[in-house]
């Protein structure tokens, strides 16, 4: 069994992380103990490492059962980018492709094999020729009919334990409820599995609920200070996604719709664009997001109220998997509640659905810490208020709302409990419209007594009254407002009512505008993000698989300028250092140099790292010698030399590269027909010639041509 140091070393080398997240190490230890394990962690909690890291250190293959073919490729690409030998088998491959993988398996060239449960039978013949060290079952809740996305093929997985009784099984899911948990263990034949239940608290997600008025305006405001951030807007209907997209596009936003009515090809294109950072905003029905591993989703908006807290938490959970602060915003409207109630009434298990909807509504209406409510729903109690929800950030102050309540209640009485919220507000505000005139409400005593309060605020006050039990909505009677036993106390027995003071929407706007100005300054993060995007396009993988936003943020903060420093960045493992270190370090140095250049106008004293390198070069030192002398990485010195050369300094590049290498690069250039990326050369040479040398050779060749 590997010791802790060995585990940490592997974690850094392959995944670039310095420490384990909560529970990861104890789960990994338990895997090495050959125990069966059930891991319950929220989305973004870091489940994958729990089997990927053991897979690296175990002698044979780790079999990963995963339900989504679309996701497999992504996961395998991600692993390969970290220098881990992984492959997947599914029905989209040709027989030849599969044969190739089988051969690799037999040759022990694969550490992790991803497979959909439906495809397991393909493996039958070679299972006896390879050693399976660990079986990981991802999205394990799919096995349970109790869960929310049951998959019949999962139910066959129980046989794995019978066939490989000695091989530890690790089942992983983000679905917490007890019934499902038990069901998973029973069906997988791992009844003695150790259960690891992680906290569901995702502290980096801010929680906010706003009234659903002028939603488009509010969304546009919200987006103003997130110019490049990826996000998802969930809508209840297909139609809403489309109208919303149109409006956002008209405002210049890069948004696309995604729902089940759009044809498959177009849908894949949108999903692909989102993953690859070329589509910034996706307006989607709930069908979107399942199986998307994109770690840099920076915000999630719910245009409509979700039908239950499970769904809501899963959807907001798609934001900020990389642990960086991310925003979530939920619009709350009574029209949605009514709509959802109708759906619930039409469903098979009406009572459960209505009860779940009720919990959702309580969350949205809450005047106390929202995270407490969310977590208590999942059976987790936190003592302190979270400080990262709108209620914590802006705790309500209470006003004496007795007169407001009396005005509302007496209007309800005078309208004979026959009107919904909207008409009651119209009467209070003295509106001159058909709803009022048709029934001659302009004649009743309370008509117009509330025109000092805005329509939206009346709505909020009435919702508060409903939540406090002073009124109720008769959903089965066109949502008419009805009195309750408590309303009589207010009307006739002098009961005092306390209401939360409503906050000014304008203030929220102000803050947003200030933030835009701040965001406008060009920063290093943005440069690194651009570089990442270019490299991702070149390599044909999603940008977040090159480095996460979290890694870029660290680079921005610590500005590593040599290989050692670069390796210190969280998310930088050995392979990524080799593949991308040079470009990122160069970008950081260039950025600093640009800044220094600007500064130099006012102060000429400061030395320049390039000049120091130039001076040493002129003394006749080789790159290696300069590297030692300056205590910088060779790639850094190299980038200095290239920059000095580009700036017109007299430098003879030929001394840094052998004639053979120049020759090889020239040949490759012809064979590859002038490819425009260094990576094409790098791959062509099967990584035998490094990026620096290729770049040098190309520069020399170009010079010759001109
Ligand atoms: P899950 O499968 O639970 O949704 P992932 O395994 O995809 O979560 O991990 C979520 C994110 O957290 C990924 O970007 C992953 O690389 C990162 N991560 C996992 N473990 C660690 C760790 N120990 N330190 C830093 N980041 C980590
Ligand atoms: Zn809170």
- CATH number, domain of 376, equals 3.40.50.300
Point out the domain boundary residue: 500, 519, 539: 500
pLDDT band at residue 13, thresholds of 50, 70 and 90?
A: very high
Q: Is 47 in the pocket of ligand 1 (CB under 6 A)?
A: yes
- Same-domain status, 415 and 549: no
Q: From CA 232, how far away is CA 284, in angstroms rounded?
A: 7
The verdict on 415 and 439 lying in the same domain is yes
What pLDDT score does 511 carry? 42
Ligand nearest the Cα atom of residue 22? 1
Tell me: do 243 and 351 sit in the same domain.
yes
Q: Find out whether the beta carbon of 370 lies less than 6 Å from any atom of ligand 1.
A: no
Phi, psi of 600 (to 5 degrees): -60, -25
Q: What is the mean pLDDT of residues 58-67?
A: 94
Q: For position 146, what pLDDT does the model report?
A: 62
Task: Examine the domain organization and report whether 295 and 439 are in the same domain.
Answer: no
Judge contact between 80 and 154, C-beta under 8 A. no
What would the mean pLDDT of 186-194 be, rounded to a whole number?
A: 94
Q: Residue 509's pLDDT band (boundaries 50, 70, 90)?
A: very low
Mean pLDDT of 519-542: 84
Same domain, 187 and 210: no
Measured distance CA(441)–CA(572) in Å, rounded:
69
Ligand 1 atom nearest 295 alpha carbon: 14
Q: Residue 293 has what pLDDT?
A: 79
Pocket lining: 573 vs ligand 1, CB cutoff 6 Å: no
Per-residue CA distances from 195 to 35, 36, 173 (Å): 11, 9, 11
More confidently predicted of 702 and 217: 217
Q: Whose CA is nearest to atom 14 of ligand 1?
A: 322
Res 589 pLDDT > 70? yes
- Asked whether residue 621 is domain-assigned, the answer is no
The pairing of strands 471-474 and 398-400 is unpaired
Q: Which residues surround ligand 2, an ion (CB under 5 A)?
A: 369, 371, 385-386, 389, 392
Atom of ligand 1 nearest to the CA of 548: 14
pLDDT score for 515: 42
Give pLDDT, residue 349: 78
Average pLDDT over residues 676-695: 80
- Asked if residue 415 and residue 374 are part of one domain, the reply reads no
Q: By residue range, what is the domain housing residue 480? A: 398-500
**pLDDT digits 0-9 by tens, 100-133:** 999 999 999 999 999 999 888 878 888 888 999 9
DSSP E strand boundaries for 264-325: 281-284, 297-302
pLDDT at residue 604, rounded to an integer: 40
What's the confidence (pLDDT) of residue 181? Answer: 86
pLDDT in the model for residue 221:
93
Q: How many residues does the chain have?
A: 706
193 shares its domain with 210: no
Our answer on whether the CB atom of 49 is closer than 6 Å to any ligand 1 atom is yes
**Residue 300 Cβ < 6 Å to ligand 1:** no
Q: Tell me which residue has its CA closest to atom 9 in ligand 1.
A: 46
On the question of pLDDT at 279 being above 50, the answer is yes
Checking DSSP bridges between strand 480-483 and strand 471-474, what pairing results, if any? antiparallel
Give yes or no: residues 419 and 321 share one domain.
Answer: no
CA distance 19 to 35: 23
Q: Residue 544: CB within 6 Å of ligand 1?
A: no
In this prediction, residue 599 carries a pLDDT of 62
Q: Is the minimum distance from the CB of 322 to ligand 1 under 6 angstroms?
A: yes
Domain membership of residue 683 (yes or no) is no
Strand 230-234, strand 281-284: pairing = parallel
Residue among 73, 129, 69, 75 at smallest CA distance from 103: 129
Residue 139 Cα to ligand 2 midpoint, Å, equals 29
Whether the per-residue pLDDT at 692 is higher than 50: the answer is yes
| Sequence-distant (≥ 6) Cβ neighbours of residue 570 within 8 angstroms | 16, 17, 18, 550, 551, 554
Distance separating alpha carbons of residues 665 and 675, to the nearest angstrom: 11
Q: Is 51 in the pocket of ligand 1 (CB under 6 A)?
A: no
Find the 546 Cα to ligand 1 centroid distance in Å: 14
Span from the CA of 321 to the centroid of ligand 1 (angstroms): 7
Q: What is the pLDDT of residue 606?
A: 37
Residues 451 and 586 in one domain: no
The pLDDT of residue 628 is 79
Query: Of 171, 197, 223, which residue constitutes the final position of a domain?
Result: 197
The answer to whether the CB of 551 falls within 8 A of the CB of 16 is yes
The protein residue with its alpha carbon nearest to ligand 1, atom 26, reads: 17
Q: Is residue 518 part of a domain?
A: no
Residue bearing the CA closest to ligand 1, atom 27 = 46
345 neighbors 357 (Cβ within 8 angstroms) = no
Instruction: Give the residue from 197, 232, 265 where a domain finishes.
Output: 197
Number of domains in the chain: 4
Least distant ligand from the CA of 297: 1
pLDDT tens figures, 73-109: 888 999 999 999 999 998 888 989 999 999 999 999 9
In the predicted model, is pLDDT for residue 512 greater than 80? no
The reply to whether 381 and 489 lie within a common domain is: no
Residue 362 lies in a domain: yes
% pLDDT > 90, the chain: 53
pTM for the predicted model, two decimal places: 0.72
The enclosing domain of 563 has a CATH number of 1.10.150.80
**Is residue 692 in a domain?**
no
DSSP one-letter code for 389: B
Ligand 1 pocket member 183 (CB < 6 A): no
Residues with Cβ within 8 Å of 612's Cβ and at least 6 positions away in sequence, in order, are: 630
Instruction: Starting from the CA of residue 544, give the closest ligand.
Output: 1
User: Which atom, in ligand 1's list, is nearest to the CA of 21?
Assistant: 23
CATH number of the domain at 432, please: 1.10.10.10
Strand-pair partners of 257: 283
Could you tell me the distance, in angstroms and rounded to a whole number, from the CA of residue 322 to the centre of ligand 1? 7
Q: Cα of 390 to ligand 2 centre, how many Å?
A: 7
Residue 193 lies in a domain: yes
Measured by CA distance, the residue closest to atom 18 of ligand 1 is: 46
Q: Are residues 309 and 181 part of one domain?
A: no
Whether residue 649 lies inside any domain: the answer is: no
pLDDT category of residue 407 using cuts at 50, 70 and 90: very high
Considering every ligand atom, which ligand is closest to the CA of 387? 2
- Per the domain annotation, does 548 fall within a domain? yes
Are 353 and 414 in the same domain?
no
Is pLDDT of 607 > 70?
A: no
Say which ligand is closest to the CA of 547: 1
- Please, what sign has the CA dihedral across residues 245, 248, 249, 254? negative
Summarised one tens digit per residue, pLDDT across range 138-184 is: 989 888 776 566 788 888 899 899 999 999 999 999 876 777 888 89
Q: What pLDDT, in 10s, does the model give residues 444-489?
A: 999 999 999 988 889 889 988 987 889 988 877 778 899 998 899 9
The CA distance from 598 to 593, in Å, is 9
Helices (H), 322-454: 334-346, 350-365, 370-377, 390-393, 402-414, 421-428, 434-437
How high does pLDDT run on average in the chain?
88
């Amino acid at each position: 069994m590997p010791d802790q140091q060995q585990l940490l070393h592997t974690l850094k080398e392959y995944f670039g992380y310095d420490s384990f997240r909560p529970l990861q190490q104890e789960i990994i230890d338990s895997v090495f103990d050959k125990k069966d394990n059930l891991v319950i962690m929220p989305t973004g909690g870091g489940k994958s490492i729990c089997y990927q890291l053991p897979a690296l250190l175990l002698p044979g293959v780790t079999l990963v059962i995963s339900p989504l073919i679309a996701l497999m490729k992504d996961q395998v690409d991600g692993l390969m980018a970290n220098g881990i030998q992984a492959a997947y088998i599914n029905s989209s491959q040709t027989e030849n492709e599969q044969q190739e993988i089988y051969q690799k398996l037999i040759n022990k060239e694969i550490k992790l094999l991803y497979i959909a449960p439906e495809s397991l039978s393909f493996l039958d013949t070679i299972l006896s020729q390879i050693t399976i060290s660990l079986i990981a079952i991802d999205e394990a809740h799919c096995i349970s009919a109790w869960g929310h996305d049951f998959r019949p093929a999962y139910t066959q997985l129980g046989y794995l334990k019978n066939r490989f009784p000695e091989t530890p099984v690790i089942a992983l899911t983000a679905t917490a409820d007890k019934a499902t948990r038990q069901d998973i263990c029973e069906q997988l034949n791992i009844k003695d599995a150790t259960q690891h239940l992680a906290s569901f608290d995702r502290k980096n997600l801010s929680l906010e609920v706003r009234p659903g008025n002028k939603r488009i305006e509010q969304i546009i405001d919200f987006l103003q200070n997130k110019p490049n951030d990826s996000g998802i807007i969930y809508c209840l209907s297909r139609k809403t996604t489309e109208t919303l997209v149109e409006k956002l596009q008209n405002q210049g936003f890069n948004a696309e719709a995604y729902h089940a009515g759009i044809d498959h090809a177009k849908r894949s294109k949108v999903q692909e664009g989102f993953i690859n950072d070329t589509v910034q905003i996706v307006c989607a029905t709930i069908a979107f997001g399942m199986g998307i591993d994109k770690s840099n989703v920076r915000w999630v908006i719910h245009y409509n109220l979700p039908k239950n807290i499970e769904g809501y938490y899963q959807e907001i959970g798609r934001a900020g998997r990389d642990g960086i602060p991310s925003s979530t915003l939920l619009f709350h409207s009574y029209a949605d509640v009514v709509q959802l109630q109708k759906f619930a009434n039409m469903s098979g298990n009406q009572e459960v659905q209505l009860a779940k909807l009720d919990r959702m509504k309580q969350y949205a209406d809450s005047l106390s810490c929202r995270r407490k409510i969310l977590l208590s729903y999942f059976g987790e109690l936190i003592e302190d208020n979270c400080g990262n929800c709108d209620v914590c950030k802006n705790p309500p102050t209470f006003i004496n709302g007795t007169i407001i309540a009396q005005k509302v209640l007496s209007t309800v009485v005078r309208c004979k409990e026959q009107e919904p919220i909207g008409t009651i507000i119209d009467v209070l505000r003295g509106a001159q419209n058909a709803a009022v005139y048709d029934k001659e409400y302009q004649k009743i005593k309370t008509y117009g007594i509330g025109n000092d309060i805005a329509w939206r605020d009346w709505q909020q006050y009435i919702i508060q009254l409903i939540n406090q039990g002073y009124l109720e909505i008769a959903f089965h009677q066109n949502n008419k407002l009805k009195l309750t036993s408590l309303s009589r106390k207010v009307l006739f027995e002098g009961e005092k009512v306390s209401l939360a003071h409503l906050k000014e929407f304008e203030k929220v706007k102000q803050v947003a505008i200030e933030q835009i100005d701040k965001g406008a300054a060009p920063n290093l993060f943005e440069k690194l993000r651009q570089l990442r995007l270019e490299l991702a396009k070149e390599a044909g993988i999603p940008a977040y698989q090159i480095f996460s936003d979290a890694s870029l943020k660290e680079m921005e903060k610590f500005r590593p300028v040599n290989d050692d420093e670069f390796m210190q960045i969280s998310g930088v493992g050995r392979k990524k250092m080799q593949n991308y270190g040079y470009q990122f370090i160069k970008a950081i140095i260039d950025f600093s140099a640009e800044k220094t250049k600007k500064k130099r106008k006012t102060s000429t004293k400061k030395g320049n790292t390039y000049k120091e390198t130039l001076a040493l070069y002129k003394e006749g030192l080789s790159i290696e010698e300069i590297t030692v002398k300056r205590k910088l990485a060779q790639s850094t010195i190299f980038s200095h030399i290239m920059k000095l050369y580009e700036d017109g300094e007299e430098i003879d590049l030929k001394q840094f590269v052998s004639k053979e290498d120049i020759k090889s690069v020239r040949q490759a250039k012809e064979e590859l027909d002038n490819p425009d990326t260094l990576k094409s050369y790098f791959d062509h040479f099967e990584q035998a010639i490094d990026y620096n040398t290729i770049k040098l050779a190309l520069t020399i060749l170009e010079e010759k041509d001109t």
